[in-house]
A and B are shown apart, each in its own frame.
Chain A
Amino acid sequence: MPFIPHTETDVHEMLAAIGVERIDDLFDEIAPELRAGDLGGIPDGLPEMAVTRLMHERARAEGDMLCFTGAGAYPHHIPQAIWQIVGRGEFYSAYTPYQAEASQGTLQVVYEFQSMISALAGMEVANASLYDGGSALGEAVLMAVRANRKARSKRVLVPRTVHPHYRAVARTVVGNQGLELVDVPFAPETGLTGVDALTAAAGDEGVAAVVIPQPNFLGGLEDVDALVDRAHALGALAVAVVNPTSLALLRPPGEWGEQGADIVIGEGQPLGIPLSAGGPYFGFLCTRKAMARQMPGRVVGRTTDADGHTGYVMTLRAREQDIRRSKATSNICTNQGLMVTAATIYMALMGPEGLERVARHSHAGAVALRSALAGIQGVEPLFDGPIFHEFTVRIDGPPVAEILDALAGRGILGGYALEGAYPEVGNSLLLCSTELHTEDDRAAYVEALTEVLAGGR
């Protein structure tokens, strides 16, 4: 669909019609100190050719880094077919078209995405996607409070083992809506959230929901069965935060504990989306059918047309912002259509076996790397419990930030420094291994880290 901007003449005519001289005058009622003003540090635009040259130079300078940094976004193999198909004109649009008459392909992809991601999560229904893992958590928390009217509470327990960015985004989303997000500390010896910590954080007040990460941000596998059961015993809904790749190996949240999780969210990037310096990615959100109407966003369904042919159509969107205004389930009223298209093709290409292979290789690589690193003097795994494909080590030596700089100088993105977000773990490093990494890659990492710690630069 064309987006034709207004010409100068259009703008002048419109301003004249309402008796205003400049567009800026329309914002007069906003106090000057509340306006954004000039955005410092953002240069003027460059011509396309100059940008292309600049990007090539930057790419050459970066080189082809060996990436062991996960912390929420993971390097995985992305089959060439995916972006080849996504790039087709029928899909490649800045806006997701939903008119059933014109968009059967797009609608079918969204329907298939919802079906596949629900199956992975062991849930009954998924929406058409959200912006990213962090915004999905914010939306899930709002949804849980809406859905759990019985709790008569707007408190939500959020373990510190949930991704710090997700916690920050959720705080931003719900902060001014009267909700209270309560931190739950983890056990220092295991890096896991204990059930009694949930009860302690709940105190005597009601709790609407408990967030449960699996694997957690520090790499550990939480005792999700016990946590879900405790959440339900507290009268709260259980919101699972999961890595979709891990679901090929780990039990789906729909089967956690006696009754399963109530809402499942996560970051979809591992499913065929390139790291791309942080985005665009997409978030997913699944739930039980009974709670579908409290779900933010929209659902595409399969139906039959007047001639009896299978067709796809927007099925559930009566509570979106354009219809319900301030009473909408969310102020987001769209989805990440293109990223979801890539993820759907990824899941279709990999199949359950392919995804399981990715998960197994990643897990095996991370376990091997953890034990290899434990052999380096000054490096010690912080926790020894089971992991998926990420883990934490403590470094007895120079600050992790300096180590990471030195590793980058050797072409290695060496992990995520934890001390900023988790002062309690000290000089520690979070790192992952995936199916992309060979034994040689891991050996190169071990060698580089050994040299750096021995004082090499």
Chain B
Amino acid sequence: MSEIPNDLRYTREHEWVRSEDDGTVTVGITDHAQEELGDLVFVEVPEAGTGFGAGDAAAVVESVKAASDIYAPVSGEVVEANDALADSPELVNSDPYGEGWLFRLRPENGDEIKDLLDAEAYGDFVESAGD
């Protein structure tokens, strides 16, 4: 069973979202997602300053099998991306909720995050999709 921290929000595309004290949100992919993808060999993160609508493709994670899009879970502007991933994409595998974060957004609208799944709902979603 993969780890699903209680204090985060989730999307059906297997991204996690953490609300930071400064009003920004940090985005990464879940433990379940990194397990499914297998060893990541490359991560392409967005440039700071780029704006995305909710659901826009914002980053790409590439495993030996496939390159998959990561979508912006809420609309907003990128304030920072995790540049360490350029040299160490494996951080996403080893520490998906910590050092393997992908990018931070300043949300356009604080309410969008409330529509995302909580840990329990995401856990149910993973279980129902896993059959």
Residues of A in contact with B (beta carbons under 8 Å apart) = 149-150, 293, 318-319, 323-324, 327
B65 partner residues in chain A, CB cutoff 8 A: 318
Task: Report A-chain residues with C-beta under 8 Å of the C-beta of B44.
Answer: 293
Q: Render B51-95 as a binary contact track against A, CB cut-off 8 A, 1 for contact.
A: 000000100001111110100000000000000000000000000
Are B57 and A318 interface neighbours, CB within 8 A? Answer: no
Q: Is B47 an interface residue (CB 8 A)?
A: yes
Docked CA distance A383–B46 (Å): 47
List the A residue with the shortest CB-CB distance to B64: A318
Q: Chain B's nearest CB lies how many Å from the CB of A161?
A: 33
B64 / chain A contacts, CB cutoff of 8 Å = 318
Distance of A117 Cα from B62 Cα, bound (Å):
26
Q: Chain A contacts of B122 at CB under 8 A?
A: none
Contact A318 B47 (CB under 8 A): no
Cβ-defined contact, B57 with A327, below 8 A: yes
Known: A293-B42, A319-B62, A327-B57. A150 touches B67 (CB 8 A): no
CA distance A54 to B66 in the complex (A): 50
A319 to B61, CA, bound (A): 11
Secondary structure dominating the interface of B: strand
Contact present for B66 and A318 (CB under 8 Å): yes
The answer to whether A319 and B47 have CB atoms under 8 Å apart is no
Please state if B47 and A149 are interface contacts (CB–CB under 8 Å).
Answer: yes
Seed contacts A318-B63, A319-B67, A323-B66; 9 additional CB < 8 Å A-B pairs: A149-B47, A293-B42, A293-B67, A318-B65, A318-B67, A324-B66, A324-B67, A327-B57, A327-B69
The answer to whether A293 and B66 touch (CB under 8 A), given A149-B47, A150-B47, is no
Q: How far is the CA of A292 from the CA of B49 in the complex (A)?
A: 24
Residues of A within 8 A of B42 (CB): 293
By beta carbon, the residue of chain A nearest B69 is A327
| Chain B contact residue count (CB 8 A cutoff) | 11
Taken together as a complex, chains A and B put the C-alpha atoms of A150 and B49 apart, in Å, by 10
Q: CB-CB < 8 A to A319: which residues of B?
A: 62, 67
Q: B62 and A293: CB pair below 8 A?
A: yes
Give every chain B residue within 8 A of A149 (Cβ-Cβ): 47
Q: How far is the CA of A150 from the CA of B50 in the complex (A)?
A: 10
Instruction: Find the residue from A150, A318, A323, A324 having the highest chain B CB count within 10 A.
Output: A318
When chains A and B are docked, how far (Å) is the Cα of A149 from the Cα of B64?
25
Query: Chain A: which residue is nearest B86 at the CB level?
Result: A290
Q: Can you list 21 A-B contacts with CB-CB less than 8 angstroms, sorted by A residue number?
A: A149-B47, A150-B47, A293-B42, A293-B44, A293-B62, A293-B67, A318-B62, A318-B63, A318-B64, A318-B65, A318-B66, A318-B67, A319-B62, A319-B67, A323-B66, A323-B67, A324-B66, A324-B67, A327-B57, A327-B67, A327-B69
A326 to chain B, nearest CB (A): 11
- CB-CB under 8 A from B67, the residues of chain A are 293, 318-319, 323-324, 327
Q: How far is the CA of A323 from the CA of B67 in the complex (A)?
A: 8
Name, among B57, B62, B65, the residue most crowded by chain A CB atoms within 10 Å (CB to CB): B62
What's the least CB distance linking B31 to chain A, in Å? 22
B71 → chain A, closest Cβ, in Å? Answer: 12
Residues of A with C-beta under 8 A to B66: 318, 323-324
| Residues on B with beta carbons closer than 8 Å to the beta carbon of A150 | 47
Q: How far is the CB of A292 from chain B (nearest CB, A)?
A: 9
In the complex, what residues of A have CB within 8 A of residue B69's CB?
A: 327
A18 to chain B, nearest CB (A): 31
- Find chain B residues with CB under 8 A from A293 CB: 42, 44, 62, 67
Complex Cα gap A324–B57 (Å): 13
CB contacts (< 8 Å) of A327 on chain B: these are: 57, 67, 69
Expressed in whole angstroms, the Cα–Cα distance for A324 and B47 within the complex equals 22
* Set of chain A residues within 8 Å of B47, measured between Cβ atoms: 149-150
Kindly provide the distance from the CB of A277 to the nearest chain B CB, expressed in whole angstroms: 39
Chain A nearest CB, measured from B87 CB (Å)? 11
Closest Cβ of chain B to A152, distance in Å, is 9
Please report the C-alpha to C-alpha distance between residue A192 and residue B118 in the assembled complex, in whole angstroms.
63
Query: Residue of A at shortest CB range from B62?
Result: A318
Contacts of A318 in B (CB 8 A): 62-67
- Which residues of A lie under 8 Å from residue B57 when comparing CB positions? 327
Residues of B within 8 Å of A323, CB to CB, are: 66-67
Chain A residue at minimal CB-CB distance from B41: A318
| A-B interface, 7 closest residue pairs, ranked by CB to CB distance from nearest | A318-B67, A319-B67, A318-B62, A323-B66, A318-B66, A149-B47, A293-B42
B50 to chain A, nearest CB (A): 8
Name the residue of chain A whose CB is nearest to the CB of B42.
A293
Q: A150 vs B46: C-alpha distance in the bound complex, in angstroms?
A: 11
User: How far, in whole Å, are A145 and B128 apart by their CA atoms in the complex?
Assistant: 41
A324 CA to B64 CA, complexed, in Å: 13
Interface centre among B57, B62, B67, B69 (most CB of A within 10 A): B67
- In the assembly, what is the distance between CA of A293 and CA of B63, in Å? 12
Distance of B47 from chain A, by nearest CB (Å): 6
In the complex, what residue of chain A is closest to B65 when comparing beta carbons?
Answer: A318
Cα of A259 to Cα of B14 in the assembled complex, Å: 40
CB distance from B18 to the nearest CB of A (A): 26
CB A12 to nearest CB in B, in angstroms, measures 38
